Amino acid sequence: MATPTMSNARKPYHQLSSCFVDTVPDSLDGIYRSLDNFAKVSKFGGGMGMYFGKVRAAGSTIRGFQGAAGGVIRWIRLVNDTAVAVDQLGMRQGAVAVYLDAWHRDLPEFLQLRTNNGDERMKAHDVFPAVCYPDLFWRLAEENIDAPWHLMCPHEILTVKGYALEDYWGTEWEKRYLDCVNDPRIEKRSVTVKDIVRLVLRSAVETGTPFAFNRDSVNHMNPNGHTGMIYCSNLCTEIAQNMAPIEHISTEVHTENGDTIVVTATRPGEFVVCNLASLSLGNLPVEDEAYMERTVETAIRALDNVIDLNFYPLEYARLTNQKYRSIGLGVSGYHHMLAKRGIHWESDEHLAFTDAVFELINYAAVKADTALAREKGRYALFEGSDWQTGAYFEKRGYTSEKWRALAKTVAVQGMRNAYLLAVAPTSSTSILSGTSAGIDPIMKKFFLEEKKGSMLPRVAPELSMDTWWYYKAAHLIDQSWSVRAAGLRQRHIDQAQSMNLYITNDYSMRQVLRLYLEAWRAGVKTIYYVRSKALEVE
């Protein structure tokens, strides 16, 4: 189970969820409510993802006054200070990722949040910035990098056009984006795609961030697109679930027994919660189908129980979690699994093996979940979902006889949980289970890792003369093999995966861009850190 589940179970405040995601509305009340939500989540040990794409840009209007808005950076600085002030029960510092769209007018400043040069008043060194990219951006970066790219204010678009551009994706988004670009009433900050790419890559190489979120890929594969859309991911980029901002409805004053009571009513929106666990692939006989199905079934049942046993720091979180019953089963020990079987990371054998293993995990998860739905009831929004219509299976090319039979069963029985699989980084839990972390290659065969201020020796699991040559250090691996493997895994994962890129000082900016483009083409939904050798502590 995930760290919060293990460290908080049996405690009076048994907050068992790992991550939460909130959509920040474009209003003073809304922004401070989101800050308040983050503080409460952080207090009880949860990490946070915050989507700032709805907040108006610097210099935008407030109540008709030109140039009055301070922009998203000012608010992100408040988020930064909240992360430092409210730690996670003394276990770890508050942690938050802030997401912004690639077309938001404040993007250039946003991309310099963590860099070490420039105006210190525009910095936020304790948050993790992330950018939401539409397909159009990567298409231009690949075909015509000198093409103009227009940065606009979401509030201005809403005022002039009457719709929120960030509420669309895919071809519909592209159509509306061009409509906004051609409207002279909307102020544009025009740059080239190359300018943005340079800022992204410079920040990635210097600071490891921004994380990347490919929103069109994510929404295209969303099994619950019938009830909403996904704006961003969480702190570790593996969660992709429907989101909606909390809306203020009214504030009323009542008198009860001579006491005056002020009642504020809000519409709860969709405040994402993720309950995580991982299969320790290095310690599992992944070739034994029956064994794997039993193990996956146990994990799915345990995660479903977390939803009902959980203490929720916010009612918004409880409502969303009970509506969707989302879970995130992931893996750790990926490199351990390959090395143990004598499979080189940089080989076609690796790609074929990972494809087969993750298809088996997904099949076992869907099968277990639909059986659980028959036993305990389906999630509230199953009707009309990709699970019910069969689109989930079609989009992933699951056409074999056993998949078709499962799709029929799902349509009849339903699903217990709206979202099933998400691969988290599993750094701490992999230490406990004596395996390698997440889906990453090992850093080195032997290295020291800092945890809570102490140095921890880490050795490649089951290191012997038999496995020695199969443990190639992360920075020595050709990263395009990692990207291709992520693309194959992504087909079987309904949410996303915490996938890092490991680069050395020899990498050119063009090579790093090529990895981003390769990931986008392969259908990889998110990229976590770009870990450069320069960031490693000797």
Catalytic residue among 19, 132, 236, 274: 236
Phi-psi region of 216 (alpha: psi -120 to 50; beta: other; left: phi over 0): alpha
Tell me if 131 sits within 8 A of 102, measured CB to CB: yes
Task: Show the tokens assigned to 68.
Answer: 């009055």
Catalytic residue among 37, 219, 234, 417: 234
- In what helix (H) or strand (E) does residue 145 lie, and over which residues does it extend? none
| Active site (annotated) includes residue 236 | yes
What is the phi/psi pair of residue 110, to 5°? -60, -40
The amino acid present at 72, given as its one-letter code, is V
Rounded CA-CA distance 348/331 in Å is: 21
Catalytic residue among 166, 238, 270, 359: 238
Rounded CA-CA distance 104/139 in Å is: 18
| Active site (annotated) includes residue 234 | yes
| Active site (annotated) includes residue 417 | no
* Distances in whole angstroms, Cα of residue 123 to Cα of each of 309, 346, 373, 449: 39, 39, 48, 27
Q: What is the DSSP letter of 535?
A: G
The amino acid present at 480, given as its one-letter code, is S
DSSP output for 251-316: EEEEEETTEEEEEEEEE--B-EEE-EEEEEGGGS-TT-HHHHHHHHHHHHHHHHHHHHHPPPS-HH
Tell me which residues are annotated as active site.
234, 236, 238
